[in-house]
Amino acid sequence: MELSFKIFRYDPQVDREPRYEVYRVRAEATERVLDCLNRIKWEQDGSLSFRMSCGHGVCGSDAVRINGRCALACQTLVKDVAQAEEVLVEPLPSFRVLKDLVVDLEPFFEKVRWVQPYLVGGNHVPEKERLQSAEERKKLDQVIRCILCACCVASCPVTAENDRFLGPAPLVWAFRYIFDSRDREKEKRLRAVDTQDGAWGCRNHFECTRVCPKEIPVTKSINFIKREIEKVLR
**Site residues, ligand SF4 (CB under 6 A):** 60, 146-152, 156, 158, 168-169, 172, 202-208, 212-214, 216, 218-219, 222
Nearer to ligand FES, 59 or 84 (CB): 59
Burial class (CB within 10 angstroms; exposed 0-12, middle 13-18, buried 19+) of 23:
buried
Residue 53 near residue 73 (C-beta atoms within 8 A):
no
Residue 59 or 160: the one with the smaller Cβ distance to ligand FES is 59
Cα distance between residue 176 and residue 141, in whole Å: 9
- In whole angstroms, give the CA distance from residue 96 to residue 103: 6
Q: Are 80 and 58 in contact (CB under 8 A)?
A: no
Is 206:149 a contact under the CB 8 Å cutoff? no
**Contact with ligand FES (CB under 6 A): which of 39, 52, 206, 210?**
52
- Indicate which single residue of 9, 21, 55, 84 sits in contact with ligand FES (rule: CB under 6 A): 55
Residue 170 engages ligand FES in binding (rule: CB under 6 A): no
> Which position among 72, 89, 101, 172 is part of the footprint of ligand FES (CB under 6 A)?
72
Q: Which residues bind ligand FES (CB under 6 A)?
A: 52-55, 57-62, 72, 74
